[in-house]
Amino acid sequence: MSRMGVTGLGFGRYFTRHMALARWTHGSGWSGVELTGHGPLALSPAAMALHYGQAIFEGLKAYPQQDGSLALFRPGVNAERLNRSAVRLAMPELPEELFVEACSAVVRADADEVPRGPGQSLYLRPFMIAVEPSLGVRPALEYLFAVIASPVDHFFADGYQAIDVWCASDQIRAARGGTGAAKCAGNYAGSLAAKAEAVAQGCHEVLWLDAQERRWVEELGAMNFFCVTQDDGAPLLVTPRLSGTILAGNTRDSLLRIAPDLGVRVAERPVALDELTDPRGRVTEAFACGTAASVVPIGAVTTAHGRVRIGDGRPGKITTMLRDELAAVQYGTQPDSYGWMHPV
Ligand code: PLP
Ligand code: COI
């Protein structure tokens, strides 16, 4: 059934009719992409992903364009990141063409299920899991790659509003040499207890600090972090550099490229929690960003020492300008001068 124009979709609650599958076996490599009905997978209870966590995923969206067509946003970036995750988890890499073909096939098959209201899109979830039945602790010899799709609204039910974040001090997301830069299932499982604590503290998300000094801001549970500081009287957009413990976000990279074109200088450098929470400091705006939620203003940071408002606590001017510009590229309301949109 078509859900065009329907609101209240939420995020990841509904799925379209089709999914794409490909299989890898040691010795034979990847099969071709098969388009099939979205439904349960037959999996051995000994499938290695279930025991030792060889499970990686991606997230990207197909956006309705002005002429009614659909386009993926920078799918090649997700294909490359999936392969970096695969290498880190000793899983097989996937040819980029196969990744893009599988995503495109699902979008084409389910085009009538893509919601077309403001802020709506089709969220694609490509993933790869180890399916070989074995309890040996070693890389599996059989894998499944799949793409499923979910018609989505804006990620946060409240829409575009500033969120409160909670700074985890007793738990960490990733340490140097670990899997922080990989998009693997275990990273998310490991963040859920802290997320529950954040919610208990009246916050929406966790703001993770570095594992070593517990001093430097890294990212959120499923989004990268940015702030705007006043530097010689002019705004400077700052984000922590990719140190190996942070996920290299597609949205992060895109904003770093868009901002200078809007006259905003950018810097990738460490951001201390103290810098962010200094009430007399230079930080005037902060936001999180990712595919699912786009750009999300951060209104306040709660730490063990209390709650500190960022700026006036409302979505900042530069935050909103970047969000609007990104949306204009993604929904094709302005020319794709970056060549980022991939028609399906
Ligand atoms: N950081 C984490 C941990 C994430 O899960 C995500 C979401 O994918 C991001 C950052 C943002 O990445 P992207 O902009 O590619 O969606
Ligand atoms: C995304 O933005 O694609 C994410 O990965 C968020 C997701 C974990 C819900």
pLDDT tens-digit series, residues 290-309: 999 999 999 999 998 999 99
pLDDT in tens, 86-96: 999 999 999 99
8 pLDDT band, cuts 50/70/90, is confident
Cα(250) to centroid(ligand 1), Å: 7
Distance CA 111, CA 70 (A): 8
Q: Which residue has the higher pLDDT, 315 or 10?
A: 315
Distance CA 21, CA 107 (A): 14
Cα(293) to centroid(ligand 1), Å: 9
Cα(294) to centroid(ligand 1), Å: 10
CA distances in angstroms from 54 to 51, 190, 269, listed in the order given: 8, 15, 32
- Residue of 155, 183, 247, 296 to mutate, ligand 1, most atoms within 8 A of C-beta: 247
CA distances in angstroms from 220 to 187, 235, 332, listed in the order given: 12, 23, 28
* Residue in 119, 120, 150, 133 with CA at minimum distance from that of residue 57: 150
Q: How many residues does the chain have?
A: 344
User: In the predicted model, what is the mean pLDDT of residues 152-163?
Assistant: 81
Answer whether residue 49 shows pLDDT above 80. Answer: yes
63 pLDDT band, cuts 50/70/90, is very high
2 pLDDT band, cuts 50/70/90, is very low
Phi, psi of 151 (to 5 degrees): -70, 130
157 pLDDT band, cuts 50/70/90, is low
Which tokens in the block code for residue 47? Answer: 């499938």
- Which atom of ligand 2 is the closest one to the Cα of 123? 3
CA distances in angstroms from 186 to 56, 59, 166, 192, 249, listed in the order given: 9, 16, 21, 10, 18
Under a CB-based contact definition with an 8 Å cutoff, are residues 343 and 104 in contact?
no
1 pLDDT band, cuts 50/70/90, is very low
Residues framing ligand 2 (Cβ under 6 A)? 59, 222, 290-292
Which tokens in the block code for residue 193? Answer: 């207890």
Q: Which residue has the higher pLDDT, 93 or 231?
A: 93
Cα(252) to centroid(ligand 2), Å: 13
* Collapsed DSSP state (helix, strand, coil) of residue 122: strand
Which tokens in the block code for residue 213? Answer: 């000094």
pTM of the complete model: 0.96
CA dihedral 61, 66, 68, 72 (to 10 degrees): -20
Phi, psi of 75 (to 5 degrees): -60, -25
In this structure, which long-range contacts are made by residues 77-84, counting pairs with CB atoms below 8 Å and at least 24 apart in sequence? 77/250, 77/253, 78/126, 78/250, 81/183, 81/248, 81/250, 82/56, 82/57, 82/58, 82/126, 82/128, 82/183, 84/181, 84/182, 84/248
